[in-house]
Structure 1
Amino acid sequence: MDRYARWNTLLEILASSGRITVEEAAQRLHVSQATIRRDFDQLSQQQMITRTRGGAVAGGVSYDLPLRYKTAKRVEEKHRIGSAAAGLVSSGMVVGLNGGTTITEVARALAMRTDLVATSGTTPLTIVTNALNIANEMIVRPHIKVVVVGGVVRPQSYELIGPLAAPILREITLDMVFLGVDAIDVKLGATAHHEGEAAINQLMAARARKVVIIADGSKLGGHAFARICPIERVHTLITDTSVPAERTAEFSAAGIKVLRA
């Protein structure tokens, strides 16, 4: 287990239990106590936890961990979903991407699509995003036009949110938008934990001809605080093969195209 995977696990333990000792953490993660002490010290320096004598307690930890600590989870599923999503894109499209680890995999898969390179007389692929990490990866791809909306940076997801993003989004049209969500339900629609992210995602969905929801199996059938869009607005759902057939059948019955990657 690498350092970020350990940190992710430690933060999740503290989010659920509130505290843990060095000895308990070492046993659960199958590493030495010296390694755990170093991990605790580094997380404490970043103000993610509070060190105690012999352990640590939750500091600013919540359900919404910073993006860099989420990358170690469900890696293979996210990679397959990203590849499947990129396969829906055609040359010359204007594509919207929000933030998150799975959407980052979509962006990387799009960047590898050499067939999307514009030729004489054709239009390049255009990516519109509010995620700074995705824009950073895409900007070095000369065959892709990158448009970044304005806003205030949300450190947890590297996304730009707030009213400054709205003027740009209201003036453009997207052929397709890929939205990573915290939950999607047949009755409640697509939702996010943070209302600021949900508001920008809602506007991106409203400006798109097709809305594609990207969600691994853990997010299907759940709900979060703020709604992004109703289920009727969703054209396609891309998820992983861990989802039971009866669960995906609910979305198919609602008129949504379901792809399992």
Structure 2
Amino acid sequence: MSREARWQTLLELLVERGRLDVEPAAEALGVSAATIRRDFDQLADRQLLVRTRGGAVQHGVSYELPLRYRTSRQAAEKRRISEAVAELVTPGEVVGLTGGTTTTEVARALTTRPDLATGTAGAPALTVVTNALNIAAELAIRPQFKIVVTGGVARPQSYELTGPLAGGVLGQISLDTAVLGVDGFDPSEGFSTRHEDEAAVNRLLCERARRVVVAADSTKLGTRAFARICAPSGVDTLITDHGLPEDARAALEEAGVEVRRV
């Protein structure tokens, strides 16, 4: 296992458990205790955890993994979800993408569609509006896509631009489809994310779009993140995986959300 893979696994375990001791972590990863101690020390140097005697704990109360350490979670499900979302997009549309691991996969899925390989009559194959720096960087090299970046203040955890500058741009444009990544959803509480500034940008994307699509794997069900984005009625379609229980699907559809499990 590479160092990057070990770090990713350790951070995911830390999110699940809140605390990790050296010996159990070494056993879980199949490496020596000395290796885990070095990993803990290096992750602490990067302020991704807090070192304790014999182990490590989460870094702060509002612990949030940077995007690059969350990419392997539910990877197969996210690929299926992203491909299904990409298929909803019509050539020539203006598409809004928030930040996140699943929306990043949606952006990549859009680049593989043959009918989006070129523009028509001088018009772009797609216009993509995003507040995510990593998505903009990946798509900017595609000449058939017109990329609009919102501006704003960058959050290092998610690479998303937030604040009044982002809102100023979004307030002046119209979207055909907004694709949201979320940290939690619930049939009664709606859709939410961890950071209030991200939620504010997401809400504005929803308001400016004719259609709102949420791309989220089923592990987000029942999670109430800190900042609410919108009620279930604010979303047209949820694309998720088959791990979503039937009763949750029925409750979401009763609330007006079309649910597709892939």
TM-score, normalized by length of structure 2? 0.92
Query: Does the CA-based 8 Å contact 1:174-1:208 persist in structure 2?
Result: yes
Q: Does the 8 Å CA contact 2:170/2:205 hold for their aligned counterparts?
A: yes
Alignment of 1:64-83 (within 5 A): 64-83=64-83
- For residues 130-169 of structure 1, the aligned pairs below 5 Å read 130-169=131-170
* Deviation at residue 155 of structure 1 after TM alignment: 0.6
- Residue by residue over 1:131-186, the C-alpha shift from the partner in whole angstroms, topping out at 9 and shown as x without a partner, is 00100100111111100001101111000011111111000000000001111222
**Secondary structure in structure 2 of the residue aligned to 1:8:** helix
Query: Could you tell me which residue of structure 1 aligns to residue 248 of structure 2?
Result: 247
Residue 4 (structure 1) shift: 3.5
| Aligned AA (2:84) | A
Alignment-derived partner of residue 194 in structure 1: 195
In 2 relative to 1, CA 250–192 (structure 1 residues): closer, same or farther, beyond 3 Å?
Answer: same
Q: Does 1:98 align with 2:87?
A: no
Deviation of 1:247 after TM superposition, in Å, equals 1.6
Matches within 5 A, 1:48-127: 48-52=48-52, 54-60=54-60, 62-116=62-116, 117-120=118-121, 122-127=123-128
Alpha carbons of structure 1 residues 254 and 2: separation in structure 2 relative to 1, 3 Å: farther
Q: Which residue of the partner structure matches residue 209 of structure 1?
A: 210
Task: Give the structure 2 partner of residue 225 of structure 1.
Answer: 226
Q: Render the CA deviation track for 1:53-87: whole Å, top value 9, x for unaligned.
A: 54334434744211111111110000100000000
Q: Is there any run of 5+ residues in structure 2 with no aligned partner, and where?
A: none
- Measure the CA separation in 1 of the matches of 2:82 and 2:15: 28
Q: Contact 2:124–2:145 (CA<8 Å) still a contact in 1?
A: no
Which secondary structure state, in structure 1, belongs to the residue aligned with residue 64 of structure 2? coil
Deviations 1:73-120, CA, capped at 9 Å, x for gaps = 110000100000000001100000001101111000011112022122
Show structure 1 runs of 5+ residues with no match.
none
User: CA separation in 2, counterparts of 1:173 and 1:138?
Assistant: 20
For 1:244 and 1:2, locate their aligned partners in 2 and report how far apart those are by CA, in whole Å: 35
Q: Quick check: 140-149 or 32-41, which moved more?
A: 32-41
3-state secondary structure, aligned to 1:153: strand
Report the Cα distance in structure 2 between the residues aligned to 1:61 and 1:133, rounded to whole angstroms: 26
- Give 2:217's aligned amino acid: D
How many angstroms apart in 1 are the aligned matches of 2:132 and 2:158? Answer: 8
Query: How many residues are aligned here?
Result: 261
Q: 1:245 to 1:42 in 2, by over 3 A?
A: same
Q: Distance in 1 between matches of 2:114 and 2:185?
A: 32
2:235 counterpart of 1:237:
no
Query: Following the alignment from structure 1 to structure 2, what is the Cα–Cα distance between the partners of residues 188 and 53?
Result: 40
The Cα shift of 1:2 comes to 4.2
State the TM-score, normalized to the length of structure 1: 0.92
What is the alpha-carbon distance in structure 2 between the residues aligned to residue 199 and residue 237 of structure 1?
20
Q: Contact 1:4–1:72 at 8 Å: present in 2 too?
A: no
- Rate the CA distance shift 1:10–1:206 in 2: closer, same or farther, 3 A: same
Residues 49 and 61 in structure 1, CA contact (< 8 A), matched pair in contact too: no
Q: Summarize the alignment of residues 19-58 of structure 1 with structure 2, pairs less than 5 Å apart.
A: 19-52=19-52, 54-58=54-58
1:225-257 CA-partner distances (Å, limit 9, x unpaired): 211112112110000111122221211222222
**How far did 1:31 drift?**
1.8
Task: Identify if the C-alpha distance between structure 1 residues 235 and 33 changes in structure 2 by more than 3 Å, giving closer, same or farther.
Answer: same
Alignment partner, residue 6 of structure 1? 6
Return the letter of the residue paired with 2:30: H
